[in-house]
Structure 1
Amino acid sequence: MRVSAMVSSALAAASAMMMGCVAAPDLDEQLVGEVSQPTICGSTVDFQHVEQYDGTLGVTTGFVGAHEAPVGQIQWKSDLASRYANPGNVSGTRTCSGTLIAHNLFLTAGHCFDPDGNGWTWPRTASKAPISASQGAAEMRVNFGYQEDPSGNLRTAESFDIVSLREYRQGGLDYAVVQLARSAAASYGFTVVSTTDAAVNDMLAVIGHPSGEPKQVDAGPASGFSGDYLQYNSLDTLGGNSGSGVLHAASGKIVGVHTNGGCTSSGGANAGVRITSILEESPILRDVTQRLVVFAKGSDNAIWHKFYDGGWSSWTSLGGSLTSAPSATLTREGRLTVFAKGSDNAIWHKYYEGGWSGWTSLGGPLASAPAATVTREGRLTVFARGTDNAIWHKYYDGGWSSWISLGGATTHDPAAVVTAEGRLVVFARSSTGELVHRYYDGGWSSWISLGGTIASGPSAVVTAEGRLTVFARGTDNAIWHKYYDGGWSGWSSLGGAMVDQPGSAVTPEGRLVVFARGTDNAIWHKYYDGGWSSWITLGGALTSSPAGI
């Protein structure tokens, strides 16, 4: 169906649509609509297919080409009748749009997961009640690449199952974040989430799937704000655009999530939830927009940190009397938390929530720096080497557990990470100098060797594309790394002359960064952006390995 046919069909159905309630459409093509009647601003229809865009809507062809790939379409699975005696009428339905914001996280509208929303009948449980929003999400998938090529031929889309509804209407806002079963960023990239709103008259673009159609674009200026909503009165949308990221043309970042129609031929405006409102409620979005921060212990035994926000800050003290390198993570609530070992061999931590807390003990005794991470279920977990050289851990789940041994015969400081698939993994240097790891997947595996001869503890991170990557200092004092991508790579050198184990992080833009302390006691870093940069100093006079987040 071409644009003109699609729009005339949608407009003919508009009288049947009130506040998103849609008369039963063709399941192969139609969709769950917007919260309000899908609307065209003014008397003309401006949608253009993304690969046929001619640059006349207010953004460049280059902008559309650079930002269309992370946009996907939500679709119900087509085999609901095989799992439900009462499957409803949504099987195979193309519903909403959305945007990939991290390797396996997809931002969209909350009402896309409202049971029995917009006049549809969801699958029923045995008691005839509609399945929950979370259950519904798990019966959906996200299609990327559902679009026409420059000649008008339909491309083959790639589908990614949704495995969980991570956030849904938090704070009463009409947004949702779903997690995909595997990383999509390696193939489609992702879009950066803005931390600031657009201004009135800033040019915006919405790329999505109007009326369930292949991917299209329209653009227009921001016209105003109303409470939690960003408005735009010359940017067309239809049902199916719900959940599309509202893109800021100057920065390419997401400044809203499209949710509401409101335009008419003579006035009104379409609208989306403004990004700053979502950030106030969403730990996940606060996580993906977190500034790059690096921590290390100073010569005064305090923990010091600096951050990058368009440029590097100076080093600032967090105080304390610590004896190890720090570790840092973000909790599920978006709370930045830093850990280190104290002079009493206990692990201490402090957190930032509008301001820094004091240092609080988690007990011990431990013999190494800690390694902290947060599981897919949101459980804050801390690892450290014990005085018996085994790896011990404790976790917070409403309260702190006791310290629990994972065994092993290790040296140096451990590292911990959660993979793109949600598997908790802890790495360490064995007593024979090899990199070893064990993972939790319903139960703990045994310790498994990854070989090599490393001279430091490891650092581990998951890239924006979902690739698990491990760094360590080699016996030549260079930093070496290896990664898992269906199988483990060999070790590759990043050069340098370093004195401690490295730290690593991924920036909000998806850039992989590795940190290490040099022989001058400054913190140095290098980053990967299509290729590795040289080593760049961040200055300082530090006495421990760094931790990045």
Structure 2
Amino acid sequence: MTPWGPLLAGTVILGLAACGTAVPADPPVCEEPEKPEVSSLWQCGPTLDFTPINSYQGEFADVIQDREDAVVLIDGRCTGTLIEASAGPVVLTAGHCVGLGDRSLLVFNFENDPDGDPLVVEGSVIEQSLEPDYALIKPDALPAVTPVLLTTRISERLAIIQHPRGRPKVIAEGRFLGSCNRLVYYTDLDTLVGSSGAGVLNRQGYLVGIHTDGDCDEKGHGANRGWTMVSIVEASPYLQSADIADR
């Protein structure tokens, strides 16, 4: 076990309370996950709570603008994040989005009211796995974008910058529910088709995991989930233990 493995062991449940209001019970977080699919839908509650990234002024506003440039649309069907690594920056996404050796199209800065021109580059899938569900894509050229750092530290509030349904970049935020069996669970955090592979950010704006699947529904039941960065770094020949830290 790595030095940071115990940090994510067990299950942490954060209570829900609402005066006089019935709230769906938190789901268990140690059930065997189903096989993820690109076509899955994971809307948590009756409304989709997405905010266009350049209009966002919420809780994570102090860190998001330094992170969102690293988020990319992959082949029009998934999301990824350019991450920092000792061997060189790579785009991290879900393994069920691509195949090993694939050539992928990466679109940076696909946004409403963009703060720069969209940039399209190609890249090669150099690693791919379904357990943990991740893939690494090496871009042919690196844009002038700051890669996101990896962390072992999970916070009570989490955020995901994503391209739901292949649309311009948005952000959603929600609540950490627990971690178990190398997975991180969160609730009231909407995702859709196209959100697979998006990075799960802690309150400090560092990557704690990647979103892969879930079972949220429009009645507020269920939870969404992804694989922890700890599990991905442990599995990856490319990523090293020095690439992740408690920050």
Normalised by the length of structure 1, the TM-score is 0.36
Contact 1:198 1:255 in 2 (8 A): yes
2:96 aligned to which of 97, 108, 111: 111
- 2:136 aligned residue: 177
Q: CA deviation at 1:197?
A: 4.3
1:168 to 128, 143, 167: 128
Change (3 A) 1:39 1:290: closer
**What do you get for the CA RMSD once the two structures are aligned?**
2.4
Corresponding position of 1:159: 120
> Does the residue aligned with 2:230 lie in a helix, a strand or coil?
helix
Q: How does 1:37-186 map to 2 (within 5 A)?
A: 37-55=40-58, 59-75=59-75, 94-102=76-84, 104-113=89-98, 133-135=99-101, 137-138=102-103, 140-149=104-113, 156-162=117-123, 164-169=124-129, 172-184=131-143
Q: Residues of 2 paired with 1:174 and 1:60: CA distance?
A: 26
Structure 1 residues 262 and 42, CA gap change in structure 2 (3 angstroms)? same
The alignment covers a number of residue pairs equal to 210
d(CA) in 2 for partners of 1:158 and 1:107?
17
Output the amino acid matched with 1:64: I
For 1:358, the equivalent position in structure 2 comes to: none
CA distance 1:270–1:290, shift in 2 (3 Å): closer
Cα distance change, pair 158–54 in 1 and its aligned pair in 2 (3 A): same
1:223 is paired with a residue whose SS is: strand
Q: 1:275 to 1:166 in 2, by over 3 A?
A: same
Which residue is 1:242 aligned to? 196
Q: What fraction of aligned residue pairs are identical, expressed as a percent?
A: 33
8 Å CA contact 2:163–2:170 kept in 1: the answer is yes
Q: 1:256 is matched with which residue?
A: 209
Give the superposition deviation at 1:104.
Answer: 3.9
Task: For residue 43 of structure 1, give the secondary structure of its aligned residue in structure 2.
Answer: coil
Offset from partner CA, 1:275-332 (integer Å, 9 cap, x none):
11112211322266178xxxxxxxxxxxxxxxxx99xxxxxxxxxxxxxxxxxxxxxx
Superposed CA deviations along residues 490-513 of structure 1, whole A, max 9, x for unmatched, are xxxxxxxxxxxxxxxxxxxxxxxx
Structure 1 distance, partners of 2:220, 2:55, is: 29
Aligned ranges 1:232-311 → 2 under 5 Å? 232-249=186-203, 251-264=204-217, 265-286=219-240, 289=243
Q: Is contact 1:146–1:154 with CA below 8 Å preserved after alignment?
A: no
Shift of 1:49: 0.4
- Kept in 1: contact 2:201–2:209 (CA 8 A): yes
Q: CA separation in 2, counterparts of 1:161 and 1:183? A: 10
Task: Output the CA distance in 1 between the equivalents of 2:70 and 2:115.
Answer: 18
Shift in Å at residue 61 of structure 1? 2.1
8 A contact 1:211–1:239 mirrored in 2: yes
**Distance across 2 between alignment mates of 1:191 and 1:276:** 15
CA distance 1:97–1:52, change in 2 (3 Å): same
> Quick one: distance in 1 between partners of 2:146 and 2:229?
20
CA shift digits 1:367-392 (9 cap, x unpaired) = xxxxxxxxxxxxxxxxxxxxxxxxxx
The structural deviation recorded for 1:20 is 5.9
Letter in 1 for 2:100: S
Partner of 2:27: none
| Structure number with bigger Rg | 1
Query: Residues of 2 paired with 1:276 and 1:112: CA distance?
Result: 20
Q: Within the alignment, does 1:203 sit opposite 2:185 as a pair?
A: no
Aligned to 1:79: none
User: Counterpart in 1 of 2:28?
Assistant: none
In the alignment, the residues of structure 2 paired with residue 105 and residue 167 of structure 1 have an alpha-carbon distance, to the nearest angstrom, of: 10
C-alpha contact (below 8 Å) 1:143/1:160 kept by paired residues:
yes
Name stretches of at least 5 consecutive residues in structure 1 with no aligned partner. 1-17, 22-31, 76-93, 114-132, 292-308, 311-549
Q: Give the aligned residue type for 1:99.
A: T
Contact 1:209 1:241 in 2 (8 A): yes
Q: Aligned equivalents of 2:200 and 2:67: distance in 1?
A: 11
Q: What residue in structure 2 maps to residue 466 of structure 1?
A: none
Q: Does 1:193 align with 2:153?
A: no
When normalised by structure 2's length, the TM-score is: 0.77
Q: How far did residue 148 of structure 1 move?
A: 0.9
1:337 aligned partner: none
